[in-house]
Amino acid sequence: MMRIVYSFIHLIGDINLSIDSVATKLILIGDGRVGKTSLCSHLRTKTIPGTYSLTVGLNIEVHETLFQGTSVKLVLWDLAGQNRFGCVRSDFYLGARVALIVFDVQNRGSFFDVKHWIRELKRHSPNTPFILVGNKKDLNKREVSYDEANLVAREFSAQYFETSALEGENVEKLFQTATRLALKGTAVAY
Ligand SMILES: Nc1nc2c(ncn2[C@@H]2O[C@H](COP(=O)(O)OP(=O)(O)O)[C@@H](O)[C@H]2O)c(=O)[nH]1
Ligand SMILES: [Mg+2]
């Protein structure tokens, strides 16, 4: 049954499950170990796993939230850490209503790769809006400044959020903003 629902989401991006309920697809992309799985985990359980485990293949999770009085099922597609841009299958992007492009503020390499992830998203799904996310803001060994990352986001007319999946800072707000973006243009958002 879930598989059928997911293939519908594949086809049309979001579906009205009933008059006051909707499901929408959100994808997380970015280099491995930047905190994509932890962000999803914090959103759902308010904690992140104690031990690091590499995401194998793909995680698909559903998070139910309320948005403007409507029950929204956010279908989170969390890409495996070992995937590189250029190797991600195009059906991962299919029907995505919003993307989170995540990097680690204490890892300059992951920030450098952001432009490749943006290019990849535009190639597969040109109309999918994205939010740039600088994660691990709780750490003091910062290698990327807020202003520098914000500038890249603005270059693409995107928003920039800094988060800590560890402490939960800005996580709820990030996903609320992502939900708003995902539902923009669909009937339920109005
Ligand atoms: N300090 C800190 N560590 C984090 C944060 N988010 C994730 N981590 C750690 O970074 C590692 C990689 O996280 P993970 O979510 O698996 O990254 P992914 O490969 O992008 O899914 C794990 O050891 C996490 O505990 C954060 O906000 N702050
Ligand atoms: Mg992961």
Asked if residue 109 is part of any domain, the answer here is: yes
Residue 100: nearest ligand to its CA? 1
Report whether 160 contacts 149 (CB < 8 A). yes
Asked if residue 188 is part of any domain, the answer here is: no
SS3 181: helix
Ligand 1 centroid from CA 37, angstroms:
7
Asked if residue 189 is part of any domain, the answer here is: no
Asked if residue 140 is part of any domain, the answer here is: yes
pTM of the model: 0.86
Asked if residue 160 is part of any domain, the answer here is: yes
The count of structural domains within the chain is 1
The pLDDT value given to residue 91:
83
Q: What residue numbers bound the domain in which 107 lies? A: 2-183
CA–CA separation, 162 and 41 (whole Å): 17
Q: Which residue has the higher pLDDT, 12 or 49?
A: 49
CATH code of residue 159: 3.40.50.300
Residue-wise pLDDT for 2-46, tens only, equals: 444 444 444 445 555 554 568 999 999 999 999 999 999 998 876
Across the chain, mean pLDDT equals 84
Question: Which of 48, 84, 100, 161 for a ligand 1 pocket mutation test, highest count of atoms within 8 Å of Cβ?
Answer: 48
CA–CA separation, 105 and 140 (whole Å): 10
Q: Could you give the dihedral angle defined by the CA atoms of residues 62, 63, 66 and 68, in that order, rounded to the nearest 10 degrees?
A: -70
Asked if residue 112 is part of any domain, the answer here is: yes
Residue-wise pLDDT for 164-188, tens only, equals: 999 999 999 999 999 999 998 665 4
Residue 142: nearest ligand to its CA? 1
